Structure 1
Amino acid sequence: MSRAADAVGIGSEETALLVGHGSRRDKSNEAVRELAAGLEDRLGVSTDAAFLELAEPSIPDAIGALAHSSSRITMVPLSLFAAGHVKNDLPLAVKRARSEHPGVTFHAGAHLGIHPAILDLLDDRARDVEAELGVDREDDDVVVVVCARGSSDPDSNADVHKLARLLYEGRSFDRVEAGFIGVTEPLLDEVLHDVAKTRPDAIVVLPYMLGDGVLTGRIRDGAAEFDAEYPYVDAAAGDPLGTDSRLLDVLSDRWQEARTDSVDMSCDTCKYKVELDGYEEDEGGARAMLRALTHQQAHEDRDDVADEPHAHDAPETHLAVCTNQTCAAGGSPAVLESLRQAARDADADVHVTRSSCFDQCGDGPIVAQYPDGVWYGACDDEDADRIVSAVERDRIVSDLVHQTL
């Protein structure tokens, strides 16, 4: 039973906002809305859905609609692990919301993470596959492979291995291994071939995904190809987590943690906060913030490609303009529009977007140029043509440089 299930005395002005990633597939977005509706029933608190990208409403739009009637908004990310979206995008959204809606209290929750309810759900998914294959973990050698998407964040990848170990503990599986469908190693194919050397009776592949999309399909295909190649091992993939009601137990707990300011994040292994071997260039909040800002825009110019739903055809250069209170008072909205017009006039491969505060108040308006890592300070609308021209010539406007990263 979720700790939040017994919550009482919550005022009508409190709102929960379930933040999904967003997809070009309506089915995936509807699943987020379905979970939001279930969470509302569970909490007894008005609950809406918002999306980081690719779907509407965006977080700022959702907050703008809720802020008129809510005195407290708690954002809960529908994210399996803590990678860039949870560590960068959501904090940026909260910071922007607090600046734009000072009369509203905002809280941000943690990712789904590792939770007993999720372990129970995975156990049931494994039993479904065992039944399909006609094996029993009590009598047969059954190996489970938990297959996640894979991330460039080592902390996120480490949690997949932890999840696999916890699924193994106390159960009768022969082994439980972690694998990934992309980005990092070991890849699913590598894990399956390695496990085959021990000649188990069956291999159960569990897609650690929320939705039944392209990546889940790849996992199923990988399991089927392996099954055909190794006739002495039965292998099959199970279903993703979907909208199982046990996810509401986890989301309820994350909501309660957030609204009581008791969120616990793994900062000691966060590549944005500490220097980890192999990830030295990622350490530092400014770099993380730039990546988060530009990633929000990275999907806009790509057509819907069925087998690469998350690939990027992003513009070569992004210009992010701070439009927070201090910079706005200094004329940043005019700078933003002038840059957009200059980019259109020059037909430049540049995307210009607004951002929240860069923590350089008093030195603005600030314009951040990515991926070059150049920040311009004290900009005005007359500088727009110079900045865009410099981008096209792969140069910088030296007299405007505030700092480089």
Structure 2
Amino acid sequence: MIGPVTDLATPVAAPRPRPSWRRAAPALLGYAAVRALGLLVLAVWSAARDESPVRLLSARWDSLWYTRVAELGYGYEVRLPDGDVHSNLAFFPLLPWLERAGAALSPLSHAEAGLLVSAVASLAAAWGIFAVADHVYGSRAGVCAVLLWAVLPVGIVQSMAYSESLFTALAAWSLYAVLTGRWLTAGLLASLAGLTRPVGAAVVAAVWVTAVASFVRERGAPAGDGAPRWRRALAMLVAPLGAAGYVLWVGHRTGGGPLGYLDVQAGWRNGFDGGYAFARFVAGKFTAFPSALAGVGLVVGVVLLGRLYAAGVRQRQPLPLLVYTGTVTLLALCASSYFGSKPRLLLPAFPLLLPLALALAKLRTSRSAWVLGGVAVASAVYGAFWLNGSGPP
């Protein structure tokens, strides 16, 4: 079936089969094939430069910071000549914890354990994306959604020792739990997502807004069995515990109080400025002709994001998806962080791909395969070029 089965206020869609491995197998096999292609192209490209693809995936940029947390714990920092302080307290702990566990239970190094975590988490994320899309729009759209997520230009990040795959897996399954009325599971997964990245607030928001909407919808209705309401209330309590616990711990450790984590992020020149810094960055691209082309591309990209979100609203995506996607997109675009990382920060916003997945699902299988195959090749080449470049993703 192709078409929405839920309205904006209803968290539970019409019954569908449980998200078994067998039902998700086409999506997972397709996802694995795309990722294998990306890694193969990366290996060939890196070999031509006498570079190690394993090092590129596990021992550069943010992955180094996660590994240091896993090996040494928190407290490491770098003081730059301009006075900025880069502290590893900026990095949330779930991925380093898993890296430490992987290194303790296997012969893998902490960096190699990070690659293993990302590999497993990326498959879990693909399965979760399929489960959400299948639940709302059907299995064909679910397969297309997973493959679209796999062929994103920054898809190589899904195979790096970064936290994006782990976070997307937790977020997708938390959203699926909300959609299917498994509130305690949703709250627990939201809490774990909050231990993974600051954008875990988006998952918490999806749980909270959907639960509140359900309470408002039930106002004045017979109470009936109080257990569902009790579970929703407990989910709302549990969901923010991960993020809140870590942020408060950082504030206590630094002596900065409840807002101490913001001071740590300020040392990295990260913050939320409503998009002012990003707007200035884009505007600055129009001062000369070559860079103006990049400026046009950035404007087109932002407009495309808005159109995709608007399409999701028109197609009446369920409320938790709209809240989650809107929050992830807002935090990514309105953060004053390194601008080259914004495509990566948008990687968890997979519901933005659902309108495109629906369009692909309506095509013949052969035609959609050609489209996705061509984009997969381009994505693999771009990922290899990007990762062998000089700037962090």
TM range (shorter): under 0.3
More strand by proportion, 1 or 2?
Answer: 1
- TM-score for the superposition, normalised by structure 1: 0.25
More helix by proportion, 1 or 2?
Answer: 2
- TM-score for the superposition, normalised by structure 2: 0.25
Between Structure 1 and Structure 2, whose CA radius of gyration is higher? Answer: 1
Structure with greater contact order relative to length (CA < 8 Å, sep ≥ 6): 2
